[in-house]
């Protein structure tokens, strides 16, 4: 969906900006305010309502919500259309770890072309190994135009939250070949700071799938593990089979 040719087959006017990129922009005010605190015990629930297109100028607005240390964040395009909304919090107490984090991943296997019947609810995916370097982190920050110093400080800087969320996309792509698909939303919670140079295991288990308006959706439970401990948890929703536009 990130090329003009493919996007046009599904009724879009041009290449779409990935949801994880939009999410990255939306985390900027939170990390600017709280720094490592939010990256270690924050959470966010983001929904992508409309697509962002390549070369659009986006604006992010962040305002306090009704409860302490909580915020409402929105992303708008140049026409003032709201493309994404996000609720974000800074937890006072340790966040709960889902029992599914302890379920062993499947053994590595050859990727299959994604399909409704192959998306088996409750069946773990093979794990994805990830060892991001400081250079990888800087490349991500450059791609999303994030200049915060926290992602550059020290020999093991904090990983960008958008870079972390991207792994939920990659663990899906590690399991299946996807001709075209769209990330529609995520709920992410940080249980500890993740740093460049560390080695992680990304796990995922489909928890629900459904059909709506000709599209096929899935929601994955996912987690980022380090030395057997949960660092980040993610509920990740995507359209994995899109309805094609009939000319």
| 3-state secondary structure at position 149 | helix
pLDDT tens digits, 119-168: 999 999 999 999 999 999 999 999 999 999 999 999 999 999 999 999 99
Task: State the CATH number of the domain containing residue 130.
Answer: 3.10.129.10
In a domain, 225, yes or no: yes
pLDDT value, residue 6: 57
pLDDT tens digits, 212-240: 999 999 999 999 999 999 999 999 999 99
In a domain, 232, yes or no: yes
Sheet order of strands, 70-76 included: 59-64, 70-76, 82-90, 42-48, 182-190, 229-241, 215-226, 200-212, 128-130
Tokens 């550059």, located at residue: 152
Q: pTM (2 decimals)?
A: 0.94
CA nearest neighbour of 174 among 199, 194, 143, 202: 202
Phi and psi of 115, rounded to 5°?
-160, 160
Tokens 């791609």, located at residue: 143
Phi and psi of 175, rounded to 5°?
-90, -40
- Are the beta carbons of 137 and 193 closer than 8 angstroms? no
Rg (CA), the chain: 18
In a domain, 246, yes or no: no
How many other C-beta atoms can be found within 10 angstroms of the C-beta atom of residue 97?
14
Containing structural domain, residue 223? 4-241
For the chain, how many structural domains are there in total? 1
In a domain, 247, yes or no: no
CA nearest neighbour of 228 among 200, 191, 207: 200
- Are the beta carbons of 167 and 135 closer than 8 angstroms? no
Can you tell me the distance from the alpha carbon of 86 to that of 64, in angstroms, rounded to the nearest whole number?
Answer: 12
């Amino acid at each position: 969906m990130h090329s003009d040719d493919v996007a046009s087959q599904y009724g879009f006017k041009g290449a779409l900006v990935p949801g994880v990129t939009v999410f990255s922009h939306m985390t900027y005010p939170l990390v600017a305010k709280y720094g490592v605190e939010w990256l270690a015990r924050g959470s966010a629930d983001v929904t992508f309502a409309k697509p962002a297109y390549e070369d659009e100028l986006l604006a992010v607005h962040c305002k306090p919500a009704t409860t302490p240390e909580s915020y409402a964040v929105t992303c708008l395009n140049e026409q003032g259309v709201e493309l994404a909304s996000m609720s974000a919090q800074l937890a006072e107490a340790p966040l709960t770890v889902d029992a599914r984090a302890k379920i062993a991943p499947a053994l590595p296997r050859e990727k299959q072309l994604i399909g409704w019947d192959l998306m088996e609810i409750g069946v773990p995916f093979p794990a994805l190994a990830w060892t991001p370097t400081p250079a990888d982190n800087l490349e991500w920050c450059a791609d999303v135009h994030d200049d915060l110093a926290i992602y550059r400080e020290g020999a093991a800087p904090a990983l960008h939250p958008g870079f972390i969320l991207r792994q939920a996309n990659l663990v899906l792509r590690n399991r299946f070949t996807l001709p075209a698909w769209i990330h529609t939303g995520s709920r992410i919670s940080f249980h500890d700071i993740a740093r460049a140079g560390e080695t992680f295991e990304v796990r995922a288990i489909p928890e629900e799938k459904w059909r709506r308006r000709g599209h096929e959706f899935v929601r994955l439970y996912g987690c980022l593990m380090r030395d057997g401990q949960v660092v980040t948890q993610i509920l990740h929703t995507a359209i994995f089979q899109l309805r094609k536009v009939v000319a």
